[in-house]
Amino acid sequence: MAILGLAWKSLRNRRFTAALTVASIALSVALLVGVERIRHQAKASFTNTISGTDLIVGARSGPIQLLLYSVFRVGNPANNVSWQSWQAIAAHPKVAWTIPLSLGDSHRGYRVLGTTLDYFAHYRFARDRGLELAEGEPFADLYDAVLGAGVAEALGYQIGQSIVIAHGAGDVSFARHDDKPFRVAGILARTGTPVDRTVHVSLEAIEAIHSDWQGGSPMPGQSVTAEQARALDLTPKAITAGLVGLKSRVATFQVQRFVNDYRQEPLLAILPAVALGELWGLIGVAEGALLVVSVCVVVVGLFGMLTALLTSLNERRREMAILRSVGARPLHVFALIMGEAFVLSLTGVVLGLALLYGLLAAVQPLLESRFGLFMLLGLPSASELLLLAAVVLAGAVVGSIPAYRAYRLSLADGLSIRV
Amino acid sequence: MRVAPAPEPDPAVDTAVRLGGLRFRWGPGSPPVLALDALSIAKGERVFVEGPSGSGKSTLLALLSGVAVPEAGAVEVLGERLDRLSSAQRDHFRAHHVGYVFQQFNLIPYLSMVENVTLPCRFSQRRRAAALRRSGTLEQEALRLLAHLDMGEPGLGSRPVTALSVGQQQRVAVARALMGSPGLVIADEPTSALDADRRVSFLRLLFDECRDSGATLVFVSHDAALEELFDRTIRLGEVNRVAGRGGAAD
């Protein structure tokens, strides 16, 4: 304890360089723990994109492809699911509810999703959160649209506004369904999922706007007006994919087999959690790299401490000799430098954590609204504490280098003062 | 940090230092720097060790303070055979029984004056206990010693020790060497940085304090003018049989 007291006073005497060292450790620790926390939150919000759905059904392709276009609105399906097959799945005795999804159109770069009111009733994300309307109502009329929060905010749309849907998924589209404009009926509350970037309309609406189309372009001379379309049979012929909720989870594999073995059409049913895990495994490489980089930054910070302690040793040889003269053993000298390294890295870790919490408190609203990341200001998690302990330990290991050098010097110098 | 404590010196022994058949070199292969047949210093004696550069003065001090051990021969300090102790035991012995004053820059810059004086008590329970017996608290004892050394002026203690004059720093160093009443005080040219007229007054203070605490004083210097103030002079150049042949350190 006597030695730690000396270490503290010695550092206080060199407070400028000590403060610089502590600052570099603190910054690197804030970065490390910040990255760790964002990693966890990103993974959590990624796996929270969809929940409560037991199976995702689509045309037979790869599980990740199906997940990407049905949940993340990324990419396009190779094939559709016929309405008959979908009806057969919906009629399976173990199925509690279904949400059909029809994709293919867009509005100013945002995907348009044709679905039913079941979407608003059964879609779940982030464990068990349902969709909520921030304003307006779900679609009641054929030409009603419900916007995700991100769409409404980015385009500045309000209830009652008229919008035109473009054919195809591109940002710039030349084929537009401008003869059948939609009215914004509702705006969803923010979810932090791809739902925010989606324009929702009814399945029948998708059918209606394509009633006079064939093979991706309007049929010449056969235009159907918006009002005429209302009278047509708007039962869809096919959908892109669908979400299935079961009465009991126990039946998951049974229904999955039913879909995968479906005779009339090659279909695929996937478990969302499994596919999400697979997809994260692909993305996870990047977040692993991020962690490696921030670990390297901590190593650089500790090297700063090593340099500061090593360069101080030569000018402190007199101090070592004085300590030896009053009875300090070379081991005490070792402990003195180790104590300084310990105080520096511990202070760095504590300050770094404080810095991170301060930053998080400041940017939390932005992270939540922009990226849907909920950064909780809770106590450090077990893995974060482990990282922090590892930094202090690494600080001690780094400190042992100058400490050992001081030990050797003081053993060689004894009481003679060589400066 | 605990090691087996060095055995307590026998108070009945009236010799403070006894060297016999001593030979020393800094390492195997390097030339011998010190060879003494016999040398003894009585308890309470104030001895002036004089000698030119290379006569082995530093070596003698290293042996007496237990930093070095001889290649052959006995080093007995306060009844303890230092040559038979482990290096950790010798460090303990020094903490308990030796006060040391360097030529200059004796003080740890980041400690206050009083903290510098009480420093030995961080490493020696024995000196801590002795200081507490004498004055009740370590700080009181440090202030008492400092006052005796004309360093009692209020305001001195609040200044950083690096702002003290050389003479003041040397007096603080003497107070530290005497803290907790060690049996042996070693001073390695402590007056060489002082003005000529200050040396004598500094020595008087040092003598008074050593007498007060019953400490033996070994004082190394090449300033022959001071010699007459001491009980006895040891001319290392004459007693060291290898002197003059180029010692490693002076």
Encoding tokens for residue B232?
């006895």
Say yes or no for a CB contact (<8 Å) between A325 and B100.
yes
pTM value? 0.73
Of the pLDDT bands very low, low, confident and very high (cuts 50, 70, 90), residue B6 is low
Q: What residues of B are in contact with residue A340 (Cβ under 8 Å)?
A: none
Say yes or no for a CB contact (<8 Å) between A415 and B67.
yes
Yes or no: say if B146 and B197 are a contact pair by the CB < 8 Å rule: no
Q: Is the pLDDT of residue B247 over 70?
A: no
Q: What is the pLDDT of residues A54-95, one digit of tens each?
A: 999 999 988 999 999 999 888 888 889 999 999 999 999 999
Strand partners, A163: A182
Yes or no: say if A278 and A292 are a contact pair by the CB < 8 Å rule: no
- B187: nearest CA in chain A? A325
How distant is the Cα of A331 from the closest Cα of chain B, in angstroms? 8
E strand residue ranges, B80-231: 80-81, 98-101, 184-188, 216-221
Q: Is the pLDDT of residue A219 over 80?
A: no
Q: What is the pLDDT of residues B76-135, one digit of tens each?
A: 888 888 888 888 889 889 999 999 988 878 898 889 899 999 999 988 888 999 889 888
For B124, which of A324, A325, A327 is closest by C-beta distance?
Answer: A327
**Radius of gyration from C-alpha coordinates of chain B:** 18
How distant is the Cα of B81 from the closest Cα of chain A, in angstroms? 17
- B121: nearest CA in chain A? A326
B163 vs A: CB within 8 A: no
Most A CBs within 10 A among B101, B108, B127, hence the mutation to make, goes to B108
For A326, which of B67, B103, B123 is closest by C-beta distance?
Answer: B123
- A327: nearest CA in chain B? B95
| Cα→Cα distances A185→A144, A154, A201, A202, Å | 6, 17, 10, 12
Q: Given this model, what pLDDT does residue A54 score? A: 94
B105 vs A: CB within 8 A: yes
- Tell me the CATH number of domain B45-72+86-239, given options 3.40.50.620, 3.40.190.10, 3.40.50.300, 1.10.10.410: 3.40.50.300
- A410: nearest CA in chain B? B67
**Radius of gyration from C-alpha coordinates of chain A:** 32
Yes or no: say if A313 and A405 are a contact pair by the CB < 8 Å rule: yes
Q: What's the rounded Cα separation, in Å, for the pair A29 and A317?
A: 32
Q: What is the pLDDT of residues B10-32, one digit of tens each?
A: 555 688 888 888 888 887 888 88
Q: Given this model, what pLDDT does residue A326 score? A: 87
B95 vs A: CB within 8 A: yes
Q: Given this model, what pLDDT does residue A146 score? A: 95
Most A CBs within 10 A among B123, B176, B179, hence the mutation to make, goes to B123
Yes or no: say if A188 and A149 are a contact pair by the CB < 8 Å rule: yes
Q: What's the rounded Cα separation, in Å, for the pair B221 and B191?
A: 8
Q: What residues of B are in contact with residue A315 (Cβ under 8 Å)?
A: none
Q: Given this model, what pLDDT does residue B5 score? A: 55
User: What is the DSSP code (8-state) at residue A232?
Assistant: S
Yes or no: say if B109 and A12 are a contact pair by the CB < 8 Å rule: no
A183 Cβ partners below 8 Å, 6+ apart? A141, A143, A144, A145, A160, A161, A162, A163
B122 vs A: CB within 8 A: yes
ipTM of the predicted structure? 0.85
For A417, which of B102, B110, B120 is closest by C-beta distance?
Answer: B102
Q: How, if at all, do strands A241-246 and A267-270 pair?
A: unpaired
H-type helices in A181-271, by residue range? 203-209, 226-230, 252-260
Going by C-alpha positions, the residue among A12, A415, A196 that lies closest to residue B60 is A415
Say yes or no for a CB contact (<8 Å) between B123 and A324.
no
Say yes or no for a CB contact (<8 Å) between B100 and A415.
yes
Q: What is the mean pLDDT of residues A353-361?
A: 91
A vs B: CB pairs below 8 A = 74
Classify the C-alpha dihedral A245-A39-A366-A157 as positive or negative: negative
Number of neighbouring beta carbons within 10 Å of residue A237: 10
Yes or no: say if A242 and A88 are a contact pair by the CB < 8 Å rule: no
Of the pLDDT bands very low, low, confident and very high (cuts 50, 70, 90), residue B72 is confident
Q: What's the rounded Cα separation, in Å, for the pair B142 and A151?
A: 77
B72 Cβ partners below 8 Å, 6+ apart? B21, B22, B23
Q: What is the pLDDT of residues A293-346, one digit of tens each?
A: 889 989 998 998 898 888 888 888 888 888 888 888 888 889 999 999 999 999
Indicate the angle between helix axes A330-371 and A382-413, nearest 10 degrees: 150
A412 vs B: CB within 8 A: no
A10 vs B: CB within 8 A: yes
Q: What's the rounded Cα separation, in Å, for the pair B155 and B167?
A: 17
Q: What's the rounded Cα separation, in Å, for the pair A107 and A105?
A: 7
A142: number of CA atoms within 13 Å, CB side?
18
Encoding tokens for residue B34?
């010190």
H-type helices in B75-223, by residue range? 87-97, 113-118, 120-123, 125-135, 138-148, 166-178, 196-213
Q: Given this model, what pLDDT does residue B249 score? A: 43
Q: What is the pLDDT of residues B151-199, one digit of tens each?
A: 877 777 778 888 888 888 888 998 999 898 888 999 888 888 778 777 8
- B27: nearest CA in chain A? A412
- B125: nearest CA in chain A? A327
- B111: nearest CA in chain A? A9
Q: What residues of B are in contact with residue A325 (Cβ under 8 Å)?
A: 65, 94, 100, 102
Q: Where are the domains of chain A?
A: 2-46+284-413, 55-270
| Mean confidence (pLDDT) of chain A | 87
Q: Where are the domains of chain B?
A: 45-72+86-239
Q: Given this model, what pLDDT does residue B250 score? A: 43
Q: What's the rounded Cα separation, in Å, for the pair A186 and A201?
A: 10
Going by C-alpha positions, the residue among B215, B171, B175, B177 that lies closest to residue B193 is B171
Q: What residues of A are in contact with residue B110 (Cβ under 8 Å)?
A: 9-10, 12-14
Q: Given this model, what pLDDT does residue A86 score? A: 94
Say yes or no for a CB contact (<8 Å) between A335 and B1.
yes
- A3: nearest CA in chain B? B122
Q: What is the pLDDT of residues A107-151, one digit of tens each?
A: 988 999 999 999 999 999 887 888 999 989 998 899 999 999 989
Of the pLDDT bands very low, low, confident and very high (cuts 50, 70, 90), residue A374 is low
Say yes or no for a CB contact (<8 Å) between B106 and A322.
yes
E strand residue ranges, B102-200: 184-188
User: What is the DSSP code (8-state) at residue A231?
Assistant: T
Q: What's the rounded Cα separation, in Å, for the pair A21 and A391?
A: 14
Q: What residues of B are in contact with residue A12 (Cβ under 8 Å)?
A: 110
For B123, which of A13, A328, A417 is closest by C-beta distance?
Answer: A328
B74 Cβ partners below 8 Å, 6+ apart? B18, B19, B20, B21, B22, B81, B83
Most A CBs within 10 A among B82, B85, B91, hence the mutation to make, goes to B91
Q: What residues of B are in contact with residue A320 (Cβ under 8 Å)?
A: none
A323 vs B: CB within 8 A: yes
Q: What is the pLDDT of residues A379-397, one digit of tens each?
A: 788 888 998 999 999 999 9
How distant is the Cα of B212 from the closest Cα of chain A, in angstroms? 20
More confident residue, B159 or A269: A269
Of the pLDDT bands very low, low, confident and very high (cuts 50, 70, 90), residue B9 is low
Q: What residues of B are in contact with residue A416 (Cβ under 8 Å)?
A: 58, 62, 249
Q: What's the rounded Cα separation, in Å, for the pair A412 and A202?
A: 86
Encoding tokens for residue B40?
């003894």
B:53-82 residues touching chain A, CB 8 A cutoff:
58, 61-62, 65, 67-68
Q: Is the pLDDT of residue A369 over 80?
A: no
Q: What is the pLDDT of residues A160-207, one digit of tens each?
A: 999 998 887 665 556 788 788 999 999 999 888 889 999 999 999 998
Of the pLDDT bands very low, low, confident and very high (cuts 50, 70, 90), residue B236 is confident
